[in-house]
Amino acid sequence: MGCASSRQFGARAAGHVEPEVLASDTSFTVNEVEALYELYKRMSFSIIKDGLIHKEEFQLALFRNSKKANLFADRVFDLFDLKRTGVIDFEEFVRSLSVFHPKAPTSEKTAFAFKLYDLRGTGYIEKEELRELVLALLDESDLRLSDSTVEAIVDNTFSQADSNGDGKIDPEEWEEFVKKNPAALRNMSLPYLQDITMAFPSFITRSEAKD
Amino acid sequence: RPSVMNAFELISTSQGLNLGTLFEK
């Protein structure tokens, strides 16, 4: 805890790890980690003022509504909650968001999306899970499709991905599938993360002043 | 034809999966 940045940072940040450590372990630079702290602070003090991100705070930031239940947001929250404490601390926030950095390896994005869609955590994406995901998407959007259309979409996609035809998509099949269908991972890259120091310039001004 | 729609592409458009909104003020 010797340097200026850790004094500025560490004691206040729940789940505190030096920004330098987080930067070296993730796709972020030290400046980007520091800029992310500004976003983290805003989210983690939005409802329950304890410096941790609770699910309602996550939903509020995503939907401008803290009560909006959503299967996808639940899944993302649970995957961000690496220590399984029911809340997201700063370390978890940075490590998880790093997967969404445009520079993060595609293998990380592929693995994260697989976990996201493996709803029951069996190590496979099953057809029932895919159906559930499609129905949840339709539910949150204004898109209305008949049951038979939903079945056709699910069957068609599933058979493309389940290349060995054993009724479940394993991680290798998923990897092959996203190679052929890169648009399926489109949401896994956030250009914002590359510009994060521009979005939260106040921290950078302080960092530069410090140097 | 709707049956050629890719389910995973469709899912990736979910609002709950589009974390870009976290960065919009």
Looking at the fold, whether A91 and A62 belong to one and the same domain comes out as yes
Strands (E), A105-180: 125-126, 168-169
User: For chain A, what is the domain count?
Assistant: 2
A144-176 tens-digit pLDDT: 999 999 999 999 999 999 999 999 999 999 999
Looking at the fold, whether A128 and A78 belong to one and the same domain comes out as no
- CA distances for A166 relative to A110, A127, A158, angstroms: 21, 11, 11
Looking at the fold, whether A184 and A110 belong to one and the same domain comes out as yes
Q: Do A152 and B2 touch (CB under 8 A)?
A: yes
Domain assignment of residue A8, yes or no? no
In this prediction, residue B1 has a pLDDT band, given cuts at 50, 70 and 90, of: very low
Q: Which of A14-18, A20-24, A128-132 shows the lowest mean pLDDT across its residues?
A: A14-18
Cα B25 from Cα B14, distance rounded (Å)? 20
In this prediction the ipTM stands at 0.87
Write down the pLDDT at residue B23. Answer: 87
Residue-level length of chain A: 211
Interface test with B, best of A44, A157, A169 (most B CBs within 10 A): A157
Looking at the fold, whether A64 and A121 belong to one and the same domain comes out as no
Phi, psi of A88 (to 5 degrees): -110, 120
Domain that holds residue A153: 106-189
Residue A18 has pLDDT above 70, yes or no: yes
Question: Which CATH number covers residue A148?
Answer: 1.10.238.10
Domain assignment of residue A79, yes or no? yes
